[in-house]
């Protein structure tokens, strides 16, 4: 039995943390939907950078754009190519969107990361992308900085689906869930809105494990590889409290959907840990796991679905987080730094995409003049 299909039976949707043109056009995305029950796609500039720099799959489209406008800027190139890919992917996933009643079948696209600290610009760019892609199963990806949280509320109120990303702590999560509910209360058609709260997992263990290794005591070393899952379990508990509570009940009666937690960064970074650790341990209803291709392949091959693991061993998760605090390790401070570092990494990847496009443009122009 395909373990990926088992996840859907547990109420969890599998999304792919990967997008590029050949995946869409060679039939692989459709195969993943048909064979593995794939229900969505997320994207980021890093993947696009590799596709531009290390392949020829975008060359035909780039030559056509250069022929129309030899001086076209790299930002416009990226915008055009990424929108084309996302639009094509949403069309392929549209049946999943229709069949799920608007719960699944989504593809995410993000405003330039340099806008992360600018609420007004994020709102404007999010609305522009929403209008330009013009698909109901699009999500605008917004970073959960304080400025981004304000943008989330405004976009939800305007009827835009949002994927809020780079959350690492309970404080990050609660701010995002609150923005979603406030936005729905201002929205004229809350039943048409979908949103996910992308909570990052493995990066937490990467940073916490470094601090634990530095301490080196038996108590510290016993917590290695435990905190990211414990952190996620606590967030899931809070999700259930918020969306089963009075503040959401009136919206639920109007047909509004809960904002599902989406587990992100679920590839295993530490080779000492099981390669499907952050999939197996985060299974639960009304959740999404966005999985990179290698981890998806591994889970298909040997992943184990033992039940709703996200709701198992909750006292143990509490004890692990308390033990971490007693050791003097501040998880909130680590989470805030991870968010800052994540924003910087997104911005750096975006800059590298533009540089790769400029490099490709120069090569094509040189090749054209030498003929």
Task: Write down the domain spans for the chain.
Answer: 3-200+227-312+339-369
H or E element at residue 366: helix 331-369
Is 234 in contact with 321 (CB distance < 8 Å)?
Answer: yes
pLDDT band at 369, cuts 50/70/90? low
Q: How much is the CA Rg of the chain, to the nearest whole Å?
A: 21
Q: pLDDT: is 363 or 339 the higher one? A: 339
* Residue-level pLDDT at 15: 98
120 carries an active-site annotation: no
Q: What's the whole-number mean pLDDT along residues 63-90?
A: 94
Is 194 in contact with 161 (CB distance < 8 Å)?
Answer: yes
Is 142 in contact with 122 (CB distance < 8 Å)?
Answer: yes
* Residue-level pLDDT at 1: 74
pLDDT, tens digit, 9 for 90 and up, residues 23-48: 999 999 999 999 999 999 998 788 78
Q: What's the whole-number mean pLDDT along residues 3-18?
A: 96
* Residue-level pLDDT at 368: 67
* Residue-level pLDDT at 370: 47
Integer angstrom CA distances of residue 116 from 14, 15, 110, 134, 270: 27, 24, 10, 23, 29
Integer angstrom CA distances of residue 91 from 24, 101, 134: 10, 16, 11
Name the 3-class secondary structure at 281. Answer: coil
Query: Is the overall model pTM greater than 0.85, yes or no?
Result: yes
* Residue-level pLDDT at 94: 98
pLDDT, tens digit, 9 for 90 and up, residues 238-263: 999 999 988 899 999 999 999 999 99
* Residue-level pLDDT at 44: 78
Q: What's the whole-number mean pLDDT along residues 162-187?
A: 98
* Residue-level pLDDT at 315: 97
Alpha-carbon span 27 to 22, nearest angstrom: 8
Q: What's the whole-number mean pLDDT along residues 104-108?
A: 98
* Residue-level pLDDT at 29: 97
H or E element at residue 209: helix 202-215
Alpha-carbon span 229 to 240, nearest angstrom: 17
pLDDT, tens digit, 9 for 90 and up, residues 114-162: 999 999 999 999 999 999 999 999 999 999 999 999 999 999 999 999 9
Name the 3-class secondary structure at 199. Answer: strand
CATH code for residues 3-200+227-312+339-369: 3.20.20.70
Catalytic residue among 9, 30, 120, 141: 141
* Residue-level pLDDT at 366: 76
Nearest to 228 by CA among 321, 307, 163: 321
Give the angle subtended at the CA of 181 by the CAs of 178 and 187, to the nearest 5°: 140
Sorted by sequence, the CB contacts under 8 Å of residue 86 that are 6+ apart come out as: 19, 43, 107, 108, 109, 133, 138
pLDDT band at 7, cuts 50/70/90? very high
Q: Is the pLDDT score of 102 beyond 60?
A: yes
């Amino acid at each position: 039995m395909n373990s990926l299909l088992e996840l859907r039976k547990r109420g969890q949707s599998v999304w792919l943390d990967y997008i590029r043109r050949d995946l869409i056009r060679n039939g692989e995305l459709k195969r993943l939907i048909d064979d593995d029950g794939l229900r969505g796609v997320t994207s980021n500039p890093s993947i696009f950078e590799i596709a531009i720099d290390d392949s020829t799959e975008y060359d035909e489209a780039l030559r056509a754009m250069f022929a129309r406008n030899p001086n076209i800027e790299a930002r416009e190139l990226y915008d055009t190519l990424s929108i084309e890919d996302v639009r094509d992917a949403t069309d392929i996933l549209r049946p999943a969107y229709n069949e799920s009643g608007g719960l699944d079948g989504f593809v995410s696209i993000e405003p330039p990361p340099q806008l992360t600290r600018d609420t007004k610009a994020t709102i404007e760019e999010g609305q522009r992308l929403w209008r330009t892609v013009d698909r109901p199963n699009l999500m605008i990806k917004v970073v959960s900085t304080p400025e981004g949280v304000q943008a989330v509320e405004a976009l939800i109120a305007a009827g835009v689906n949002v994927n809020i990303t780079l959350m690492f702590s309970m404080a990050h999560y609660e701010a995002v869930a609150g923005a979603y509910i406030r936005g729905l209360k201002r929205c004229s058609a809350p039943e048409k809105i979908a949103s996910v709260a992308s909570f990052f997992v493995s990066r937490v263990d990467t940073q916490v494990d470094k601090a634990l290794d530095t301490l080196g005591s038996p108590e510290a070393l016993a917590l290695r590889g435990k905190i990211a899952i414990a952190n996620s379990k606590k967030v899931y508990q809070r999700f259930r409290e918020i969306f089963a509570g009075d503040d959401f009940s009136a919206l639920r009666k109007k047909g509004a959907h809960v904002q599902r937690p989406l587990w992100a960064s679920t590839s295993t970074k530490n080779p000492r840990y099981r390669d499907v650790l952050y999939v197996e341990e985060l299974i639960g209803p009304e959740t999404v796991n966005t999985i990179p291709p290698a981890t998806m392949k591994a889970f298909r091959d040997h992943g184990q679905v033992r039940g709703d693991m996200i709701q198992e061993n909750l006292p143990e998760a509490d004890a692990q987080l308390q033990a971490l605090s007693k050791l003097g390790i501040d998880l909130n401070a680590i989470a805030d730094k991870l968010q800052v570092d994540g924003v910087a990494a997104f911005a750096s990847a975006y800059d590298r995409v533009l540089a790769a496009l400029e490099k490709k443009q120069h090569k094509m122009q040189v090749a054209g003049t030498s003929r």
